[in-house]
Every structure is written in structure tokens, then in C-alpha cells.
Amino acid sequence: MKSERRLAEAQRIAHLGNWEWDIIAGDLHFSDEVCEIFGLLPDEFGKTYEAFLASVHPMTANRCNRP
């Protein structure tokens, strides 16, 4: 899709990404740029919240788990 390509290009230029979390299923979807920011290939990044927490600084992980 043209709009998805434009979004990916804008994210690459700005060096930011987006993600979506299905809390019920426990699945995460990250844009390719999020993987780039973490220095990983899209297939190397676990698609779970736990994988995300394992890849960020412990202080950030603690903040993510606060209500």
C-alpha cells in the first residue's frame, strides 16, 4: 500500500517508529523502524511485551510496569 510505504519512509527519516500491543493476546507489532532503533532485524525481535521489556534499560522496564 502506498500509505504504508509513505509512513515507513517518514519513520525512517525521523528515526522513530510505532507499535501496537494486543494486551489480550499478548502480541506486539513493531514497525521496521522500531527494530532498527533497537539494532535488530524484524525477525530477531520477539513479538511479546516480555521481549520488549528484556530489550530496554531496566529503569525503563520498571517504569513500563507501573500502574
User: pLDDT digit string (tens) for 27-61?
Assistant: 888 888 988 888 888 788 777 888 888 888 999 98
DSSP 36-67: HHTT--GGGS-SBHHHHHHHS-HHHHHHHT--
Sign of CA dihedral 29, 35, 37, 39: positive
Looking at residue 21, its pLDDT comes to: 87
Looking at residue 67, its pLDDT comes to: 66
15 vs 48, residue with greater confidence:
15
* Least confident stretch, 6-10, 21-25, 44-48: 44-48
